[in-house]
């Protein structure tokens, strides 16, 4: 068996299958080596360099497979720890970076933060279809501001409960755009592991663990 027969051995195969294939190939290699040594010409013995090289390459491939196994084990442990951590969020109050909030019982709330003082600014509310349903003046000072929306459109009609998106349009005196971040807060009602990365949900609004800014135990007097 030549050295080229084991090149690219691991590529495109799982480590369990690679380990089995490696064992089979190595067994075949030893059998061929034994037979060749039995039948070699005593007056012209084989050069052992090629066999030594092949043994070294088998050892190298085996080490790489073991490393892959270890990496997969670490990834599995990390994912399990991440899932366990996400599950502990259930029932707690989280603050997360997201422009989404749920209108429930005629109320939805956001926190937005301006990077600097604004000359003018508006808060824009859109429904899930991207339709603009409400516009209101924004606070112009730098820093954090709370906005609670009563769920009514520009004509005063009450809109249905559901998820809405808020964006901030703020300009400085020179007409330059001012950066703004938006946060939402609520009690975690579900955790989803189906997307690979755990997602926590406040009713219908989801966020990854990387988007969670704070976590707070809800006191009994705060309600469920």
Cα 153 from Cα 157, distance rounded (Å) = 5
Task: Look up the pTM and report it.
Answer: 0.61
Q: Check residue 200 and give its pLDDT.
A: 87
Q: What is the mean pLDDT of residues 140-164?
A: 94
**For residues 169 and 71, what is the distance between their CA atoms, to the nearest angstrom?**
46
Domains and CATH numbers, the chain: 3-87 (no CATH), 93-222 (2.60.40.4070)
Those residues whose C-beta lies under 8 Å from the C-beta of residue 65, and which sit 6 or more positions away, are 10, 15, 18, 19, 22
What pLDDT is recorded for position 191? 83
pLDDT band at 117 (very low <50, low <70, confident <90, very high): very high
């Amino acid at each position: 068996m030549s050295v080229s027969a084991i090149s690219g051995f691991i590529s495109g195969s799982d480590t369990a299958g690679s380990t089995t294939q490696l064992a089979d190939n190595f067994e075949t290699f030893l059998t061929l080596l034994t037979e060749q040594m039995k039948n070699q010409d005593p007056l012209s013995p084989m050069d052992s360099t090629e066999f030594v090289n092949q043994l070294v390459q088998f050892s190298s491939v085996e080490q790489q497979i073991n490393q892959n196994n270890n990496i997969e084990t670490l990834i599995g442990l990390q994912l399990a720890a991440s899932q366990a951590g996400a599950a502990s969020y259930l029932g707690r109050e989280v603050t997360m970076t997201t422009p989404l909030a749920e209108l429930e019982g005629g109320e939805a709330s956001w926190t937005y933060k301006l990077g600097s003082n604004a000359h003018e600014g508006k808060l824009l509310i859109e429904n899930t279809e991207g339709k603009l349903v409400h516009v209101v003046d924004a606070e112009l000072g730098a820093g954090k501001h709370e906005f609670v929306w009563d769920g009514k459109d520009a004509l005063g009609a009450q809109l249905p409960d559901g998820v809405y998106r808020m964006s901030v349009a703020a300009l400085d005196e020179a007409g330059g755009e001012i950066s703004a971040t938006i946060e939402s807060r609520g009690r975690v009602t579900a955790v989803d592991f189906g997307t690979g990365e755990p997602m926590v949900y406040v009713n219908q609004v989801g966020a990854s663990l990387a988007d969670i800014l704070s976590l707070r135990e809800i006191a009994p007097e705060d309600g469920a």
